[in-house]
């Protein structure tokens, strides 16, 4: 056991802090895209090694050796200072690492630099109305016509499709192959003729995702990652980066601290909610669970650094992390009593309605990105080695 | 940076596990549970050969001077095998109390025989965690009066006792005025008892006038109990998974039914973070003083809750046979159940956690 990062890393932490303090006035104020500030801030971060850190220079990154601890320190310090850590999104977070592994040289040159600069934003076209948990059964078709792919079909749950410039999309290109071997991974501009985007309203009142319809969408033959029929493999390489992102225990800790403040501030008949032993016990119960997930995360970081296996500890993060967050937000609503039903604008609302918003959003996240039930299948089959459900004879 | 077990720690766990698998298999545990023999002397002797009783005692006094994390790792293995052996009091709470609060003379008199396993020590400090009714022990300047319930490692030669001021004493098991009654509990794999003091002579650990010592001793015990539960719950989960692969109904292993798979996945999802939590609490106990108390309270409370869930669910996966005595699964169920109650149940530990943070 050695929980210190070491002096070299502490120096890096100080350097990161100094950078943030010296430049924070240039950062965009919130996480939304700011046409003026965001691209300038992004370039400053890349030039100084705080974004796209380990992406090679020739593709527009900073070109440092990958270093898990430095990446962690950067994330910690930007979060602590509550300063934007640069652009994220599906392109930068998921597509770029996958392209580095599996893209052609031409694709890397063409797509990675503008994606890092924020000039191309991406959406992910995977799920379909009849292919959710059973993703590999998707039916959106891609047929080669001369030297062009022609895509027809429909995607659903597509986040940011309304604003994204490009889509990376999983399609069925080999209708006669077994289902996992019949897919291809295509890239195309959302401005291409034949694409229609319809936002889906959700229970939070916002639209977090869309339906996307394709009617004879034509794109050049070479806008494919990997070979024909290799799409499932490519998509899995992307999903690997995606599951890591849900259920972040540090974000949950910040939210827990806000919940403590709420329970100190709110009163019932003149008594602080915190002084009600039932509420206090529920609060402490959640704190214990938050702690367990933070230590689990520390274990995962260490396992990554020291090349140890902690696959079961990693597999459970999405399931546990999203459930815990949903429970935490729900406790805040209970602590608010009747005030807890307020939403939208208006008097008496607390924290801009964020407790209700997050409570609902996290129910969405329990379902999205692989439902809780699919997570349990994965944990039991891959983590515990339990037998798969026998296939139905068709 | 490394948050994980060293090669030595893995070896330590393996060697205790191997010993218990060979010399204290389920039949041996059952014999201890059924016959009500005071000590499983053969098991104890084996643990002595491995140096377990002296693992926290410094080399100067004949021990091996390992860390509280190492002790927790051993406790985890003992729990995983429901080992019929003294440990929490004899190898952890009492040696630590003497090392922290005993005089030089007391240290040289007690620690060496404890390390060698020639003397076995119990701990009667439950009243410092939560006193029931008006049970309390009082010191009149030379003798102890009152009673203490739930002495851990009950069949001992000497007891560590906390009085109502949280001062700590050592009392010889044969002291005049000491009455001992073994209590019949759900957990037959370990012995618990009541100590009644009718003016029993005792020796004070002089530095224990600092009440912090008693709190630290309690916390060390809590970490060990949490680790014991972690080990026991992991065994119950493993056995449920194994059973579900063997047991066939409707022409298929029941482990291929999603209802059963999801029960096992939920157990694993709850239990896996408990491992990191136990490591952290045991490490923080010695190395991160600012976090030690809070982490200990939450760790014992949280692992107890998860343990209860796993004990119940793993039993259910086994169906009716899990409820019977045939597989002995209930020994683990009851060990987890006892650990939950001892030295502070989840609710009182969470209240203590709130107090530590000035939230109560």
What tens digit of pLDDT does each residue of B43-78 get?
A: 999 999 999 999 999 999 999 999 999 999 999 999
- Residue A245: what pLDDT? 62
Q: Per-residue confidence at A211, pLDDT binned at 50, 70, 90?
A: very high
Instruction: Name chain A contacts of B283, Cβ cutoff 8 Å.
Output: 1, 3
Name which of A69, A320, A383 is nearest B1 (Cβ-Cβ): A69
CB B122 within 8 Å of CB B169: no
Residue A394 has pLDDT above 70, yes or no: no
Domains of chain B, start order = 7-116 (1.10.540.10), 121-209 (2.40.110.10), 211-356 (1.20.140.10)
Residue whose entry in the numeric block shows the structure tokens 């439902």: A371
- Residue A29: what pLDDT? 79
- Residue B157: what pLDDT? 98
* Number of alpha helices (DSSP H) and beta strands (DSSP E) in chain B: 13, 10
How is residue A344 written in tokens?
Answer: 């939208």
CB B225 within 8 Å of CB B300: yes
- Residue A131: what pLDDT? 94
Mean pLDDT of chain B: 97
Name which of B2, B347, B354 is nearest A302 (Cβ-Cβ): B2
Is A387's CB within 8 Å of B256's CB?
A: yes
When pLDDT is averaged across residues A275-300 and rounded to a whole number, the result is 97
Residue A31 has pLDDT above 70, yes or no: no
Q: Which of A162, A242, A381, A389 is catalytic?
A: A242
Is B3's CB within 8 Å of A69's CB?
A: no
Neighbour tally for B269: CB within 10 Å: 25
Rounded CA separation B101/A175 (Å): 77
Rounded CA separation A54/B279 (Å): 32
Name which of B261, B277, B354 is nearest A292 (Cβ-Cβ): B277
Q: Which of A280, A288, A391 is most worth mutating to test chain B (most B CB atoms within 10 A of its CB)?
A: A288
When pLDDT is averaged across residues A249-278 and rounded to a whole number, the result is 94
In this predicted model, what pLDDT tens digit does every residue of B284-299 receive, in sequence order? 999 999 999 999 999 9
The correct answer on CATH 1.20.1260.10 for the domain covering A246-383 is: no
In B, minimum Cα distance to A313 occurs at B272
Residue among A142, A44, A120, A302 at smallest CA distance from B275: A302
- Residue A248: what pLDDT? 80
Residue whose entry in the numeric block shows the structure tokens 């999205």: A368
Task: Report how far apart, in Å, the C-alpha atoms of A96 and of each of A43, A50, A73, A197, B207 are.
Answer: 17, 16, 21, 24, 62
Q: Which of A287, A292, A308, A335 is most worth mutating to test chain B (most B CB atoms within 10 A of its CB)?
A: A292
Rounded CA separation A215/A200 (Å): 19
Rounded CA separation B55/B53 (Å): 6
Say how many CB pairs under 8 Å bridge A and B. 161
- Residue A219: what pLDDT? 98
Name which of B3, B255, B301 is nearest A3 (Cβ-Cβ): B3
The Cα of B84 is separated from the nearest Cα of chain A by a number of Å equal to 29
When pLDDT is averaged across residues A343-365 and rounded to a whole number, the result is 94
% chain B with pLDDT above 70: 100
Label the pairing between strands B143-151 and B192-201. antiparallel
When pLDDT is averaged across residues B124-150 and rounded to a whole number, the result is 89
Task: Report how far apart, in Å, the C-alpha atoms of B229 and of each of B150, B326, B335 are.
Answer: 18, 22, 7
CB A161 within 8 Å of CB A210: yes
CA A2, B276, A53, A251 torsion: positive or negative? negative
A242 catalytic residue (yes or no)? yes
- Residue A243: what pLDDT? 54
- Residue A391: what pLDDT? 82
Residue A30 has pLDDT above 90, yes or no: no
CA A107, A113, A116, A121 torsion: positive or negative? negative
- Residue A393: what pLDDT? 76
- Residue A241: what pLDDT? 65
Name which of A303, A312, A389 is nearest B268 (Cβ-Cβ): A312
% chain A with pLDDT above 90: 82
Question: Nearest-5° angle of CA A315, CA A321, CA A327?
Answer: 145
Question: For chain A, which residues make up each domain, given as ranges?
Answer: 7-87, 122-229, 246-383
In this predicted model, what pLDDT tens digit does every residue of B157-184 receive, in sequence order? 999 999 999 999 999 999 999 999 999 9
The Cα of A374 is separated from the nearest Cα of chain B by a number of Å equal to 9
Residue B116 has pLDDT above 80, yes or no: yes
CB A262 within 8 Å of CB A331: no
- Residue A390: what pLDDT? 87
- Residue A244: what pLDDT? 58
Rounded CA separation B40/B32 (Å): 7
Residue B154 has pLDDT above 80, yes or no: yes
Is A295's CB within 8 Å of B279's CB?
A: yes
Q: Per-residue confidence at B324, pLDDT binned at 50, 70, 90?
A: very high
Residue with the larger pLDDT of the pair A32 and A139: A139
Residue A265 has pLDDT above 80, yes or no: yes
- Residue A163: what pLDDT? 92
Instruction: Name chain B contacts of A307, Cβ cutoff 8 Å.
Output: none
- Which ipTM was obtained for this model? 0.96
Residue A363 has pLDDT above 60, yes or no: yes
Rounded-to-10 torsion of CA A354, A360, A363, A369: -70
CB B215 within 8 Å of CB B356: no
Q: Cβ neighbours of residue A116 under 8 Å, at least 6 residues apart?
A: A42, A46, A51, A52, A55, A59, A60, A61, A92, A96
What is the CATH code for A122-229? Answer: 2.40.110.10
Residue A205 has pLDDT above 60, yes or no: yes
Q: Which of A13, A249, A253, A291 is most worth mutating to test chain B (most B CB atoms within 10 A of its CB)?
A: A291
In this predicted model, what pLDDT tens digit does every residue of A52-81 receive, in sequence order? 999 999 999 999 999 989 998 998 899 888
Rounded CA separation B347/A281 (Å): 7
When pLDDT is averaged across residues A107-136 and rounded to a whole number, the result is 95
Helix B26-35 to helix B41-49 angle (10° resolution) is 130
Instruction: Name chain B contacts of A366, Cβ cutoff 8 Å.
Output: none
The Cα of A67 is separated from the nearest Cα of chain B by a number of Å equal to 13
Exposure of B95 by Cβ count < 10 A (0-12 exposed, 13-18 middle, 19+ buried)? buried
Is B283's CB within 8 Å of A1's CB?
A: yes
- Give me the phi and psi of A248, to 5 degrees please: -60, 115
How is residue A332 written in tokens?
Answer: 């805040």
How is residue A265 written in tokens?
Answer: 């501030």
Is A296's CB within 8 Å of B265's CB?
A: no
């Amino acid at each position: 056991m050695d929980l210190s990062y070491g002096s070299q890393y502490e120096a890096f932490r100080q350097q990161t802090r100094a950078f943030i303090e010296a430049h924070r006035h240039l950062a965009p104020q919130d996480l939304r895209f700011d046409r003026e500030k965001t691209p300038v801030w992004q370039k400053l971060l890349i030039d100084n090694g705080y974004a796209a850190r380990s992406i090679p220079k020739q593709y527009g990154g900073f070109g440092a050796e990958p270093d898990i601890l430095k990446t962690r320190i950067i994330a910690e310090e930007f979060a602590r200072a509550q300063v934007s850590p640069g652009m994220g999104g599906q392109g930068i977070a998921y597509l770029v690492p996958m392209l580095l592994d599996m893209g052609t040289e031409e694709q890397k040159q063409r797509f990675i630099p503008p994606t890092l600069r924020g000039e191309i934003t991406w959406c992910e076209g995977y799920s379909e109305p009849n292919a959710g948990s059973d993703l590999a059964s998707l039916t959106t078709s891609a047929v080669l016509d001369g030297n062009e792919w022609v895509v027809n079909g429909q995607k659903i749950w597509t986040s940011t499709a309304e604003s994204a410039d490009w889509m990376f999309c999983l399609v069925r290109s080999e209708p006669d192959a077994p289902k996992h071997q019949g897919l291809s991974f295509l890239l195309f501009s959302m401005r291409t003729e034949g694409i229609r985007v319809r936002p889906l309203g959700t229970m939070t009142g916002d639209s977090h995702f869309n339906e996307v319809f394709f009617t004879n969408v034509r794109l050049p033959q070479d806008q494919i990652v990997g070979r024909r029929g290799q799409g499932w493999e490519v998509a899995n390489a992307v999903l690997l980066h995606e599951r890591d992102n849900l259920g972040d225990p540090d974000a949950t800790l910040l939210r827990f601290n806000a919940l403590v403040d709420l329970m100190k501030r709110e009163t019932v008949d003149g008594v602080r909610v915190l002084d009600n032993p039932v509420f206090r016990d529920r609060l402490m119960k959640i704190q214990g669970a938050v702690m367990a997930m933070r230590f689990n995360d520390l274990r995962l970081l260490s396992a990554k650094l020291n090349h140890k296996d902690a696959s079961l500890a990693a597999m459970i993060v999405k399931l546990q992390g999203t459930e815990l967050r949903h429970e935490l937000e729900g406790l805040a609503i209970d602590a608010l009593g009747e005030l807890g039903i307020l939403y939208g604008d208006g008097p008496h609302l607390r924290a801009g309605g964020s407790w209700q918003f997050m409570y609902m959003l996290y129910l969405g996240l329990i379902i999205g990105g692989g439902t809780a039930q699919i997570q349990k299948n994965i944990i039991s089959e891959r983590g515990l080695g339990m037998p798969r459900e026998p296939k139905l004879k068709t | 940076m490394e948050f994980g077990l060293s090669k030595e720690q893995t070896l330590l766990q393996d060697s205790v596990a191997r010993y218990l698998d060979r010399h204290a298999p389920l039949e041996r545990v059952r014999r201890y549970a059924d016959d009500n023999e005071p000590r499983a002397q053969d098991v104890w002797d084996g643990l002595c050969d491995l140096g377990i009783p002296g693992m926290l005692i410094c080399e100067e006094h004949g021990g091996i001077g390992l860390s509280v994390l190492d002790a927790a790792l051993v406790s985890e293995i003992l729990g995983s095998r429901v080992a019929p052996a003294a440990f929490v009091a004899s190898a952890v709470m009492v040696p630590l109390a003497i090392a922290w609060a005993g005089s030089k003379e007391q240290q040289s008199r007690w620690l060496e025989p404890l390390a060698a396993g020639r003397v076995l020590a119990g701990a009667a400090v439950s009243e410092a965690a939560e006193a029931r009714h008006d049970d309390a022990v009082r010191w009149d300047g030379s003798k102890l009066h009152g009673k203490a319930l739930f002495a851990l490692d009950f069949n001992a030669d000497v007891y560590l006792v906390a009085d109502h001021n949280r001062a700590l004493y050592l009392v010889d098991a044969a002291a005049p005025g000491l009455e001992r009654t073994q209590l019949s509990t759900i957990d037959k794999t370990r012995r618990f008892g009541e100590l009644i003091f009718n003016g029993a002579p005792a020796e004070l650990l002089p530095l224990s006038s600092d009440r912090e010592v008693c709190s630290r001793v309690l916390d060390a015990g809590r970490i060990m109990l949490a680790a014991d539960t972690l080990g026991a719950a992991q065994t119950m989960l493993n056995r449920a998974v194994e059973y579900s692969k063997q047991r066939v109904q409707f022409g298929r292993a029941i482990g291929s039914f999603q209802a059963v798979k999801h029960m096992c996945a939920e157990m694993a999802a709850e239990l896996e973070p408990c491992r990191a939590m136990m490591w952290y609490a045991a490490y923080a106990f010695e190395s991160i003083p600012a976090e030690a108390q809070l982490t200990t309270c939450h760790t014992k409370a949280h692992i107890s809750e998860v343990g209860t869930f796993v004990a119940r669910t793993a039993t259910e996966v086994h169906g009716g046979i899990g409820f019977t005595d045939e597989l002995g699964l209930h020994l683990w169920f009851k060990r987890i159940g006892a650990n939950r109650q001892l030295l502070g149940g989840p609710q009182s530990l969470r209240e203590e956690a709130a107090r530590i943070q000035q939230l109560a």
